[in-house]
Structure 1
Amino acid sequence: MPAPSRPFRVRWGLGSENAPRAPTHVDDYLIDVACWGSWSQHFARVKIRRKTDGKVIFPFEGAAVVGPFSSAGEAREKGEQFARDLVYADIKNPE
């Protein structure tokens, strides 16, 4: 079988089965929380991407840093809570 002349590409919006859908559940998001810092100050690095359309909803340009906190455990916990709050807000009112 000969190789196709052009690479195969999936494009959104060509059919209703390929169209991105609005997120409805926390499982529609990829959430990554990590902590970084020094001995006395720790920060959370949060990244949230919608699985339904691939859009990164956090961090965005100009987004505030999550922290500082006194321990790495507290930074991770607060980062996870911050991510959950953003996800629930995005489910309620997606862009």
Structure 2
Amino acid sequence: MSAIGRRPRLVLFSSKSVPAKPGHSQGDFQIYASYRGSASAGFYGTLKVVRKTDGRLLYPFDGASAIGPFNTSTGAVAAAQQRGLAIVDGDLARPEL
């Protein structure tokens, strides 16, 4: 079979097992804050928090509440960033291993 026209395989979960390793400072985490929505429907914050020491995704998780709605996109991003910092502070105090 020819490789022309075939798409690369997307790997969603790594097959390598990485041992859990807690973060020691805010620099050990990556916070991705953005927004979705529109002025007519309201703006909602979007958030992804990753612990860089072991690659664990801390947010979003099943059952996480929506961030918003807000009247402006900057308000939604600010709220997402604030929630991200709270998650990082919580993981620093009590690491989820």
Normalization by structure 2: what TM-score?
Answer: 0.75
Instruction: State the Cα distance separating 1:39 from its structure 2 match.
Output: 1.2
Please give the alpha-carbon distance, in whole angstroms, between the structure 1 residues aligned to 2:71 and 2:20: 41
Please give the alpha-carbon distance, in whole angstroms, between the structure 1 residues aligned to 2:76 and 2:65: 14
**Counterparts of residues 50-89 of structure 1 (less than 5 Å):** 50-89=51-90
Partner-residue secondary structure (3-state), 1:85: helix
**Counterparts of residues 1-95 of structure 1 (less than 5 Å):** 12=18, 20-40=20-40, 41-95=42-96
List, as ranges, runs of 4+ consecutive aligned residues in structure 1 with deviation greater than 2 Å.
Answer: 9-12
Structure number with the bigger relative contact order (C-alpha 8 A, sep ≥ 6) is 2
Equivalent residue pairs, number: 81
Q: Which has the larger radius of gyration?
A: 1
**TM-aligned CA distance change 1:62 to 1:10, over 3 Å:** closer
RMSD: 1.7
